[in-house]
């Protein structure tokens, strides 16, 4: 083969580069791997500082693609040291003759896409120009040490050591006065060992980190045994897990257990000495501030119990950001080190470094001399090593320019404008939020299979479409927005590097979900990509995931339960089933008062529940109609949603138990709805409510009842309404809309269940009556201002959209929220689905606006 023209150039000979080289060779692709260092190993080649170890257990932090490795390599410890992991990488490289495919001491400086030849030209520090069809950045997420942004760094005359570029011969600090700047993972691992040698150690800390004890020793018995017993299942579980380690996710909310029990559970997790154990104690640590605080305070209590000086303990205690939103660390005697008389902690917030000097450091009101300075200041993570190479795509745009406001990728693997460029563990993939061995292998497999598919299909180029890339950005944001990560200044968010855009760089939707998405993209013929070759172009445009990630999780969970379809039940059974489901959901926020009563309906008394806010009244009042397809539900069945609206909008809610079908068919519900509205208007003052400010609201069939009540109020002399809030309403039973087909199955409310509801409620002839299908009213003008919320994955989406549009055309003031990625039911799931918070907030805001 020509060395200057190959199928694939790979940059980097860490674990990613090694495995990719192996796979390329196995499948007949010519390649060159270019590596700055003079050996393999990447992270484990460069990070030779004392105490450097992996913090994912070696049962999990190892290759799985060569099964023989498991028998021929025995890890000596649970968390292997850097020299041992480096030896492992060298062993793999030697065993598979990978050294012969790697050019060492060769830095890639630039890469330019040539649109005519459909190839990349890669330039190296040795002045070589290599052309290749495909160009893969296996440059690592944590391979570009961050330049310390401290004044005077170049003044210091003594030895300076950077943890990410540690001298190969090691450093002896015996008898020295040493400064360590930085208390991230590298600092926390190295400080106890530097303290063992140094005569005096001063640790400069900007932000304390959460650290859990590594409790190193032999590999965990239970895990090792499982691995030995059934390796295939173990590895499959890891690949489909949240973080790339087969941990069973907790189903316990932190506040659902008594404080003593919670503490016992956290203590057990603490004693496991595993990075992911503590955060996995409760299901809601990553999404709920109150749940997270339980774990955060537990760690702080541990720090207080270890560190003798209370002031130092407090300084070491992380506050102001949630546990896990900065990478938690694993340590061996880190907190204990601060009990040693020669170790001192300096808080950079109260004593900032004024300057590094020729002989030491000026900080606060002190000047101190040091024999060595150690910078443990972290990395320009995720994108640093990628944009350090001058990568010019189509039209001469560089990747650095394109990513100025944050990295844009499709799947974290590819980027629009950069054909045939792949990134391993790039931004927008699980990467640093995972066991990276699992993520590296998954990316290498995906790239390999893509190259094979291209070769088989006669394609020369592959590039994602702008729609797919934007869809992926939105999905990443959807995933991030339901977590606590975005409010923390972390390197995950680019906050440690001045000028870096603030976005969550890794994908936080989980390793398993991500793998399924990538597999789906492949199975659907590279959905979201354009492939071109001599035989033509195949553009398979589309967005792979639009559903909200938490909504998807609920659907997946429900699918595993194998529940019978409601439409196979009798109405009585369906009601019992619905009540049983409601009994186990979170109750919703507290309100000032809840009072039950009865009011006169169209044909007899109806129960109602009044929700009153805690503030002083008289409050405006919303007459609310529950969901349940006119067949089931009651005045209390939408309790969490009613409480939420009451508390958030500061309005009173009267939820009405209108008559149900099939016992009372059309128009019973509609007539009851209007009767209840009139009664509330007439009795508002005696209920302590404001009779001049009344609105209607409802969800699903209740949205139908609310819309009809608003029309009846307009047509029958009142009451005058301030507004109508319709959440995924039924508005048209007369015909099929496209969404009935698009979302027929799989989103809880199915097409057949909707038909079952209609059949119970109204004869086909009655369904064109505007009292059943408010969309069909001949005149929609003069209705009160409306907010209509429709959900993307709802069979009723199009009829809700149509009603909003029709009212707007008739001159009604309409706010129409199309809830992206939601289903018919998901917005009502208060305290269960964080993605439902923004639409409910918008609904509460609409109610406030209705009432001025």
Which DSSP string do the residues of 307-354 spell out, in sequence order? -SSHHHHHHHS--SS-TTSS--EEESSHHHHTTSTTEEEEETTTS-EE
User: Please, what is the minimum distance in Å from the beta carbon of residue 529 to ligand FAD?
Assistant: 23
Q: Which CB sits closer to ligand FAD, 108 or 680? A: 108
Q: What's the distance, Cα to Cα, between the start and end of the chain in Å?
A: 76
Q: Which CB sits closer to ligand FAD, 138 or 676? A: 138
Binding part of the chain for ligand FAD, among 1-9, 10-18, 744-752, 808-816 by CB under 6 A, reads: 10-18
Binding part of the chain for ligand FAD, among 15-23, 195-203, 732-740, 786-794 by CB under 6 A, reads: 15-23
Burial 4-37 (b: 16+ CB within 10 A, else e): ebbbbbbbbbbbbbbbbbbbbbeeebbbbbbbbb
Element (H, E) at 757: helix 751-761
Using CB under 6 A, which of 7, 23, 35, 638 touches ligand FAD? 35
Segment 338 to 397, residues that bind ligand FAD, using CB under 6 A: 385, 389
Binding part of the chain for ligand FAD, among 42-50, 608-616, 672-680, 805-813 by CB under 6 A, reads: 42-50
**Widest Cα–Cα separation across the chain:** 95
Which DSSP string do the residues of 251-297 spell out, in sequence order? ---GGGS-HHHHHHHHHHHHHHT-TTTTTTSSTTTTT-HHHHHHHHH
Dihedrals φ, ψ of 571, to 5°? -55, -40
- Asked if residue 238 binds ligand FAD (CB under 6 A), the reply is no
Q: How far apart are CA 504 and CA 473, in angstroms?
A: 11
Residue entry with tokens 């330049």: 147
Which DSSP string do the residues of 118-160 spell out, in sequence order? TEEEEEETTS-EEEEEEEEE---SS-SBPPP--TTTTT--S-E
- Asked if residue 52 binds ligand FAD (CB under 6 A), the reply is yes
Binding part of the chain for ligand FAD, among 5-13, 414-422, 610-618, 750-758 by CB under 6 A, reads: 5-13
Using CB under 6 A, which of 6, 10, 34, 804 touches ligand FAD? 34
- Asked if residue 214 binds ligand FAD (CB under 6 A), the reply is no
User: Please, what is the minimum distance in Å from the beta carbon of residue 102 to ligand FAD?
Assistant: 10
- Asked if residue 245 binds ligand FAD (CB under 6 A), the reply is no
Using CB under 6 A, which of 6, 7, 8, 15 touches ligand FAD? 15
- Asked if residue 183 binds ligand FAD (CB under 6 A), the reply is no
Using CB under 6 A, which of 9, 14, 451, 638 touches ligand FAD? 14
Using CB under 6 A, which of 9, 11, 254, 833 touches ligand FAD? 11
Using CB under 6 A, which of 7, 9, 17, 361 touches ligand FAD? 17
Those residues whose C-beta lies under 8 Å from the C-beta of residue 380, and which sit 6 or more positions away, are 144, 145, 146, 497, 500
Using CB under 6 A, which of 212, 440, 687, 844 touches ligand FAD? 440
88, 73 in Cβ contact below 8 A?
A: yes
User: Please, what is the minimum distance in Å from the beta carbon of residue 399 to ligand FAD?
Assistant: 13
Q: How far apart are CA 306 and CA 433, in angstroms?
A: 29
Element (H, E) at 816: strand 814-823
- Asked if residue 47 binds ligand FAD (CB under 6 A), the reply is yes
Q: How far apart are CA 747 and CA 730, in angstroms?
A: 16
Residue 656: both structure tokens together:
């009405």
Burial 697-707 (b: 16+ CB within 10 A, else e): bbbbbbbbbbb
How many whole angstroms from its chain centre is CA 306?
34
69, 227 in Cβ contact below 8 A?
A: no
711, 640 in Cβ contact below 8 A?
A: no
User: Please, what is the minimum distance in Å from the beta carbon of residue 362 to ligand FAD?
Assistant: 30
Segment 92 to 111, residues that bind ligand FAD, using CB under 6 A: 107-108
Segment 386 to 405, residues that bind ligand FAD, using CB under 6 A: 389
Segment 642 to 701, residues that bind ligand FAD, using CB under 6 A: none
- Asked if residue 31 binds ligand FAD (CB under 6 A), the reply is no
Q: How far apart are CA 108 and CA 129, in angstroms?
A: 10
356, 381 in Cβ contact below 8 A?
A: no
Using CB under 6 A, which of 207, 241, 325, 435 touches ligand FAD? 435
Strand-pair category, 529-533 with 459-464: antiparallel
- Asked if residue 139 binds ligand FAD (CB under 6 A), the reply is yes
User: Please, what is the minimum distance in Å from the beta carbon of residue 191 to ligand FAD?
Assistant: 14
Q: How far apart are CA 833 and CA 433, in angstroms?
A: 22
Q: Which CB sits closer to ligand FAD, 66 or 200? A: 66
User: Please, what is the minimum distance in Å from the beta carbon of residue 851 to ligand FAD?
Assistant: 53
Using CB under 6 A, which of 8, 54, 130, 652 touches ligand FAD? 54
Using CB under 6 A, which of 22, 23, 24, 43 touches ligand FAD? 43
659, 668 in Cβ contact below 8 A?
A: yes
Q: How many residues does the chain have?
A: 852
Q: Which CB sits closer to ligand FAD, 82 or 655? A: 82
Q: Which CB sits closer to ligand FAD, 274 or 732? A: 274
Using CB under 6 A, which of 86, 142, 762, 844 touches ligand FAD? 142
Those residues whose C-beta lies under 8 Å from the C-beta of residue 227, and which sit 6 or more positions away, are 59, 234
Using CB under 6 A, which of 6, 8, 10, 16 touches ligand FAD? 16
- Asked if residue 727 binds ligand FAD (CB under 6 A), the reply is no
User: Please, what is the minimum distance in Å from the beta carbon of residue 27 to ligand FAD?
Assistant: 20
Those residues whose C-beta lies under 8 Å from the C-beta of residue 261, and which sit 6 or more positions away, are none
Binding part of the chain for ligand FAD, among 52-60, 668-676, 691-699, 750-758 by CB under 6 A, reads: 52-60
Q: How far apart are CA 300 and CA 364, in angstroms?
A: 26
Q: Which CB sits closer to ligand FAD, 141 or 482? A: 141
Size of residue set near ligand FAD by CB under 6 A: 36
668, 701 in Cβ contact below 8 A?
A: no
Q: Which CB sits closer to ligand FAD, 4 or 781? A: 4
793 strand-pairing partners: 823
Binding part of the chain for ligand FAD, among 134-142, 232-240, 399-407, 653-661 by CB under 6 A, reads: 134-142
User: Please, what is the minimum distance in Å from the beta carbon of residue 134 to ligand FAD?
Assistant: 16
Helix axes 289-306, 259-272, angle to 10 degrees: 60
120 strand-pairing partners: 113, 132
Binding part of the chain for ligand FAD, among 51-59, 260-268, 610-618, 805-813 by CB under 6 A, reads: 51-59
- Asked if residue 12 binds ligand FAD (CB under 6 A), the reply is yes
Dihedrals φ, ψ of 814, to 5°? -125, 130
Segment 794 to 813, residues that bind ligand FAD, using CB under 6 A: none
Q: CA separation (Å) from 438 to 230, 235, 243, 747?
A: 17, 9, 9, 31
Give the number of other CB atoms < 10 A from CB of residue 685. 12
Binding part of the chain for ligand FAD, among 137-145, 537-545, 569-577, 724-732 by CB under 6 A, reads: 137-145
User: Please, what is the minimum distance in Å from the beta carbon of residue 142 to ligand FAD?
Assistant: 4
- Asked if residue 785 binds ligand FAD (CB under 6 A), the reply is no
Using CB under 6 A, which of 316, 436, 479, 656 touches ligand FAD? 436
Q: Which residues are near ligand FAD by CB under 6 A? A: 11-17, 34-37, 42-43, 45, 47, 52, 54-56, 61, 107-108, 138-143, 186, 385, 389, 424-425, 435-436, 440
């Amino acid at each position: 083969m020509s060395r200057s023209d190959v199928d694939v150039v790979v940059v980097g000979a860490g674990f990613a580069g090694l495995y990719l080289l192996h796979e390329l060779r196995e499948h007949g692709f010519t390649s060159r791997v270019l590596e700055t260092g003079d050996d393999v190993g990447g992270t484990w080649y460069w990070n030779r500082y004392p105490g450097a170890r992996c913090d994912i257990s070696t049962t999990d932090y190892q290759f799985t693609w060569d099964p023989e490795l498991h028998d021929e390599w025995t890890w000596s410890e649970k968390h292997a040291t850097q020299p041992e992991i480096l030896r492992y990488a060298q062993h793999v490289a030697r065993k598979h003759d990978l050294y012969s495919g790697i050019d060492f001491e060769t830095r890639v400086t630039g890469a330019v896409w040539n649109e005519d030849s459909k190839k990349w030209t890669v330039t190296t520090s040795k002045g070589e120009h290599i052309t290749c069809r495909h160009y893969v950045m296996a440059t690592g997420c944590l391979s570009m040490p961050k330049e310390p942004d401290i004044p005077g760094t170049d003044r210091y005359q003594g030895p300076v050591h950077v943890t990410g570029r540690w001298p190969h011969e090691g450093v002896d600090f015996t008898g020295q006065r040493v400064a360590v700047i930085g208390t991230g993972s590298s600092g926390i691992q190295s400080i106890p060992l530097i303290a063992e040698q140094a005569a005096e150690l001063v640790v400069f800390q900007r932000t304390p980190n959460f650290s859990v004890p590594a409790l190193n020793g032999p590999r965990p018995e239970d895990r090792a045994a499982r691995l030995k017993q059934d390796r295939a299942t173990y590895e499959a579980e890891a690949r489909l897990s949240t973080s790339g380690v087969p941990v069973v996710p907790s189903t316990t909310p932190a506040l659902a257990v008594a404080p003593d029990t919670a503490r016992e559970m956290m203590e057990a997790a603490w004693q496991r000495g595993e990075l992911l154990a503590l955060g996995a104690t409760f299901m809601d640590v990553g999404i709920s501030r109150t749940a997270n605080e339980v774990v955060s305070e537990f760690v702080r209590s541990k720090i207080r119990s270890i560190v003798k000086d209370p002031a130092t303990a407090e300084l070491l205690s992380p506050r102001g950001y949630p546990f896990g939103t900065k990478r938690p660390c694993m340590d061996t005697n880190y907190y204990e080190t601060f009990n040693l008389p020669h170790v001192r902690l300096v808080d950079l917030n109260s004593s900032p470094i004024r300057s590094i000097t020729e002989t030491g450091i000026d900080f606060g009101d002190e000047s101190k001399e040091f024999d060595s300075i150690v910078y443990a200041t972290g990395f320009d993570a995720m994108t640093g090593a990628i944009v350090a190479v001058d990568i010019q795509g189509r039209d001469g745009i560089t990747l650095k320019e394109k990513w100025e406001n944050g990295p844009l990728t499709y799947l974290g693997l590819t980027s629009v404008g950069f054909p045939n460029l792949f990134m391993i563990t790039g931004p927008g993939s699980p990467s640093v939020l995972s066991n990276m061995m699992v993520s590296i292998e998954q990316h290498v497999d995906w790239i390999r299979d893509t190259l094979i598919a291209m070769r088989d299909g006669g394609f020369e180029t592959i590039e994602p479409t702008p729609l797919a890339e934007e869809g992926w950005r939105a999905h990443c944001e959807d995933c991030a927005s339901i977590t606590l990560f975005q409010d923390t200044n972390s390197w995950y968010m680019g906050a440690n590097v001045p000028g870096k855009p603030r976005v969550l760089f890794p994908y936080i939707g989980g390793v398993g979900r991500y793998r399924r998405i990538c597999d789906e993209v492949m199975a659907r013929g590279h959905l979201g990509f354009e492939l071109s070759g001599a035989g033509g172009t195949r553009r398979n445009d589309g967005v792979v995931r639009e559903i909200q990630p938490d909504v998807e999780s609920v659907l997946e969970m429900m699918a595993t339960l194998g529940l019978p379809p409601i439409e196979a039940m009798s109405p009585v059974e369906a009601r019992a089933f619905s009540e049983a489901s409601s009994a186990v959901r979170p109750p919703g926020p507290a309100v000032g008062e809840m009072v039950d009563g009865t009011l006169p309906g169209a044909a007899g008394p109806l129960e109602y529940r009044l929700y009153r806010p805690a503030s002083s009244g008289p409050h405006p009042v919303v007459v609310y109609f529950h969901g349940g397809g006119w067949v089931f539900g009651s005045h209390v069945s939408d309790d969490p949603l009613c409480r939420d609206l009451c508390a958030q909008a500061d309005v009173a809610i009267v939820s009405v138990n209108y008559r149900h079908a099939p016992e009372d068919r059309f128009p019973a519900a509609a007539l009851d709805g209007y009767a209840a509205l009139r009664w509330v208007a007439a009795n508002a003052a005696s209920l302590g409510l404001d009779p001049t400010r009344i609105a209607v609201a409802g969800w699903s069939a209740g949205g139908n009842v609310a819309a009809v009540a608003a029309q009846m109020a307009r047509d029958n002399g009142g009451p005058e309404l301030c507004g109508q809030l319709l959440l995924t309403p039924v508005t048209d039973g007369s015909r099929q809309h496209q969404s009935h087909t698009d979302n027929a199955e799989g989103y809880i409310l199915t097409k057949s269940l909707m038909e079952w509801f209609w059949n119970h409620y109204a004869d086909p002839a009655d369904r064109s009556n505007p009292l059943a299908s408010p969309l069909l009213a001949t005149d929609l003008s003069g209705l009160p201002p409306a907010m209509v919320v429709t959900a993307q994955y709802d069979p009723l989406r199009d009829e809700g959209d149509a009603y909003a549009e029709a009212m707007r055309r008739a001159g009604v003031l309409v706010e129409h929220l199309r809830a992206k990625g939601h289903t018919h039911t998901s917005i009502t799931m208060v305290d269960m689905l964080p993605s439902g918070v923004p639409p409910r907030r918008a609904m509460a805001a609409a109610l406030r606006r209705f009432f001025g």
